[in-house]
Amino acid sequence: MIKTPISNCYADAKDFLKIKDLDKARDKADEGLVYLASQVYTKKLKDEDIIEGSTVKLWYERLWIFLENNGLMLDSDEDHKPEQNYFWDKLLAEQ
């Protein structure tokens, strides 16, 4: 599969997460969301339109769920901590 801007951002975000660089992982996922939103806006795409081999809706879900599942969502409440982070629990258990 040929890497394109959104898939590059998603792959980079996962790579940064693996090396525990959470800020860069969040930034790359956010970059993918911004690029996706710009394509949706400029090309007037709908949820079921295909971009980079997947539907717009699937890209939004992948990137958003990546942020949520890995505790990378920015929150106005600075003391907010995710109750459980399954990815980190699994990663730490493997080490």
- Domain residue spans in the chain? 5-94
Q: In this predicted structure, which of 4-13, 27-36, 81-90 has the lowest mean pLDDT?
A: 81-90
**Signed CA dihedral, 57, 77, 30, 1: sign only:** negative
Query: If we measure between CA atoms, which residue out of 4, 25, 24, 6 comes closest to residue 14?
Result: 25
On average, the pLDDT of the chain sits at: 83
Strand 50-51, strand 54-55: pairing? antiparallel
Q: Tell me the average pLDDT across 59-67.
A: 95
In this predicted model, which residue has the larger pLDDT, 91 or 67? 67
pLDDT level of residue 86 (50, 70, 90 thresholds): low
Q: Tell me the average pLDDT across 25-37.
A: 94
pTM of the model: 0.74
DSSP state for residue 70 in the 8-state scheme: T
